[in-house]
């Protein structure tokens, strides 16, 4: 293999990894939406016991991409910035202020002074630089963090509290990336450890909680950091967190999680599915929900397949899907049908609901026009070939199979035959990369519209084999645009292009749903529909 193709492969690979990692992880997770604002005065103290369904086997926030582990490890580290879940705006956290160059290639952060890690060491520009220099060496596990920093030219400590990150190409998404757990800042001591050590022993952060104990597949225990005064500007409580201790227990069985919450053995649970809602209703439990930002659950069509090259066929599939029915029958209460390729909680989301209204008659006439005639078995044929698609999927969420079976029925009604092929988790990324699929079912969580570029730009991995078009221009320009109004306009244009050409068939938004005891207050979602427990209290 030539050097050039090696570079290309690894860049593509990194992007594949970035996209698929989030696909895998976010789909399993759930989050919490509303805040349990409640009666009474907030008070300090107490232990929050939170049951999650799985353990990623790693407690390094820079490496973990599984929602259920992010809930705990997020509390250990602070980030340079935070993101307001309502407005999508980036606000100060460890960085008091920042400046982005007009071409979105240089990001300069001014750090707050007086921040220390739990080992007593100080936060300096050098520590941030060490973090960003080490992230690209994280390897297989740290793909999210690596992706955010891809194309970084240099990171320099301008002075003890000023750090400058320069990219070789415009990279507007980087500012939002600094608000994520993946780029949480770790102490110099942790940065020097190997990725494996960080995974099993945990890391030293400057966050409101400190990792006390990690027992693989059993529990993660955190304790409050005393003397903490540098919280995000978004948090309502100044200084230390309310809770003394956080215990995350791994409880695989959804029914056991629900029963444990109902019977008071735990205070909160993750991944509440439709089947468990009834059991939790009426008790001392609140269900908190929020749609995950990013690319919605949908069918990624392989646009290079002969039948799918025809826009009319793709559009017919788009119209044949009844999103509302799928959201109502399969997904947890409150799940919204997709109104764009982006979920409505993503900054710069544009509602294209009218373009996504189900219309079987229109689907049929589009297929007629494309020359696909209905056969005796109800399946359409053209030149002796049946209109059949194989949808590849993997079981990372219990809703996948029922949702796909419903889509299968809906498409059959207009004459499209759908076969479902379940893959192992480990097979999914290679399948996307090899292009050996007609359609693939998945989603990606990311609270920045740049996820459209990672997923659909023909200059990157281009899993769905889109043809080069003006969509590419819109996607690269939004990545280079710092002006919010202009970026919004470009992102809107990209969403319209994706839906009108039916390059991707959006179906439903992934909704994170948590069950939280009524005695727990202010357990709130962050912009990525994960949780921040600094303001949470029990009373």
Partner 1 sequence: MRRYVIKRLGQAAGVLWAAYTVSFLVLDYLPGDPVTAMASAGMDSGQVDPQQIAALRHEYGFDKPVLVQYAEYLGRAVRGDFGDSVSTGRPVTSTLADALPQTLQLTGAALLLAVALGGGLAVLATYTSRRWLRQLLLSLPPLGVSVPTFWVGLLLVETFSFRLHWFPAFGNDGFKGLVLPALTLAVPTGAQIAQVLAKSLLTALDQAYVETARAKGADRWRVHLRHALRNASLPALTVVGLLVGQLIAGSVVVETVFSRDGLGRVTAAAVTAQDIPLVQGVVVFGALIFVTTNLVIDLVYPLLDPRIVVTSDRKAALA
Name the residues that contact partner 1, by CB under 8 A.
1, 6, 9-10, 12-17, 20-21, 24-25, 51, 57, 63, 65-66, 139-143, 146, 196, 215-219, 249-253, 255-256, 259-260, 262-263, 265, 424-427, 429-430, 433
380-387 contacts: CB < 8 A, separation 24 or more? 380/415, 380/416, 385/307, 386/417, 387/307, 387/313, 387/415, 387/416, 387/417
Chain-centre distance of CA 7, in angstroms? 27
DSSP line for 283-345: SSEEEEEEEPPEEEEEEEE-TTSHHHHSHHHHHHHHHH--HHHHHHHHSPTTPPBPSSSB-TT
Is the distance from CB of 66 to CB of 524 less than 8 angstroms? no
C-alpha neighbours within 13 Å on the C-beta side of residue 497: 20
DSSP state of 2: -
Q: Is 280 or 313 the residue whose CB approaches partner 1 more closely? A: 280
Is the distance from CB of 221 to CB of 49 less than 8 angstroms? no
Q: Is 53 or 208 the residue whose CB approaches partner 1 more closely? A: 53
Chain-centre distance of CA 268, in angstroms? 21
At its nearest, how many Å lie between partner 1 and the CB of residue 20?
5
Q: Is 198 or 521 the residue whose CB approaches partner 1 more closely? A: 198
Spatial distance between the Cα atoms of 101 and 483, rounded to a whole number of angstroms: 11
Q: Is 262 or 529 the residue whose CB approaches partner 1 more closely? A: 262
Q: Is 11 exposed, middle or buried (0-12, 13-18, 19+ CB in 10 A)?
A: middle
What angle separates helix 484-500 from helix 470-479, to the nearest 10 degrees?
Answer: 150
At its nearest, how many Å lie between partner 1 and the CB of residue 526?
21
Judged by phi (left if over 0) then psi (alpha if -120 to 50, else beta), residue 294 lies in left
At its nearest, how many Å lie between partner 1 and the CB of residue 461?
8
Token pair, residue 304, equals: 């290079």
Pairing between strand 520-521 and 537-538?
antiparallel
Q: Is 23 or 125 the residue whose CB approaches partner 1 more closely? A: 23
Q: Is 140 or 189 the residue whose CB approaches partner 1 more closely? A: 140
Q: Is 10 or 168 the residue whose CB approaches partner 1 more closely? A: 10
At its nearest, how many Å lie between partner 1 and the CB of residue 14?
6
Q: Is 251 or 387 the residue whose CB approaches partner 1 more closely? A: 251
């Amino acid at each position: 293999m030539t050097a050039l193709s090696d570079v290309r492969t690894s860049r593509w690979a990194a992007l594949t990894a970035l996209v698929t990692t989030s696909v895998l992880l976010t789909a399993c997770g759930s989050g919490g939406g509303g805040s349990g604002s409640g009666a009474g005065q907030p008070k300090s103290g107490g232990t929050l016991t939170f049951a999650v369904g799985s353990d990623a086997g790693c407690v390094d926030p820079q490496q973990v991409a599984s929602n259920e582990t992010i809930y705990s490890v997020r509390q250990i580290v602070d980030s340079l910035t935070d993101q307001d879940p309502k407005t999508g705006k980036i606000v100060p956290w460890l960085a008091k202020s920042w400046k982005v160059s007009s071409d979105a290639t240089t990001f300069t952060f001014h750090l707050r002074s007086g921040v220390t890690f739990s080992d007593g060491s100080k936060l300096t520009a050098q520590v941030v630089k060490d973090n960003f220099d080490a992230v690209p060496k994280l390897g297989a596990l740290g793909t999210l963090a690596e992706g955010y920093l891809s194309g970084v030219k240099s990171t320099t400590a301008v002075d003890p509290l000023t750090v400058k990150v320069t990219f070789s190409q415009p990279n507007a998404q980087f500012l939002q990336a600094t608000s994520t757990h993946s780029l949480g800042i770790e102490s110099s001591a942790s940065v020097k450890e190997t990725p494996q050590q960080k995974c099993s022993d945990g890391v030293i952060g400057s966050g409101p909680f400190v990792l006390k104990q990690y027992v693989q597949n059993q529990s993660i225990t955190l304790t409050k950091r005393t003397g903490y005064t540098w919280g995000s500007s978004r948090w309502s409580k100044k200084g230390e967190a309310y809770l003394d201790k956080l215990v995350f227990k791994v409880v695989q069985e959804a029914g056991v999680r629900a029963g444990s919450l109902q019977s008071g053995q735990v205070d909160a649970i993750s991944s509440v599915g439709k089947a468990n809602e009834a059991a939790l209703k009426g008790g001392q439990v609140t269900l908190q929900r929020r749609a995950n930002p990013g690319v919605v659950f949908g069918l990624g069509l392989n646009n290079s397949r002969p039948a799918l090259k025809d826009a009319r066929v793709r559009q017919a599939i788009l119209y044949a899907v009844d999103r509302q029915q799928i959201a109502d029958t399969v997904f947890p209460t409150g799940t919204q049908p997709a109104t764009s390729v982006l979920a409505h909680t993503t900054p710069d989301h544009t509602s294209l609901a009218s373009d996504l209204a189900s219309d079987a008659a229109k689907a049929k006439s589009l297929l007629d026009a494309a020359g696909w005639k209905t056969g005796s078995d109800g399946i359409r044929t053209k030149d002796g070939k049946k209109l059949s698609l194989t949808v590849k999927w993997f079981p990372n969420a219990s809703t996948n199979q029922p949702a796909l079976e419903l889509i299968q029925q809906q498409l059959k009604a207009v004459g499209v035959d759908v076969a479902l092929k379940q893959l192992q988790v480990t097979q999914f990324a290679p399948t996307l990369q090899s292009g050996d699929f007609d359609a693939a079912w998945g989603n990606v969580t990311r609270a920045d519209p740049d996820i459209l570029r990672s997923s659909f730009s023909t200059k990157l991995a281009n899993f769905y084999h889109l043809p080069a078009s003006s969509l590419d221009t819109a996607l690269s320009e939004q990545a280079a645009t710092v002006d919010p109004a202009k970026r919004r306009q470009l992102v809107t244009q990209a969403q319209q292009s994706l839906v009108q050409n039916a390059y991707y068939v959006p179906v439903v938004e992934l909704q994170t749903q948590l069950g939280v005891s009524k005695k727990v207050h202010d357990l709130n979602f962050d912009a990525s529909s994960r949780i921040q427990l600094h303001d949470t209290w029990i009373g």
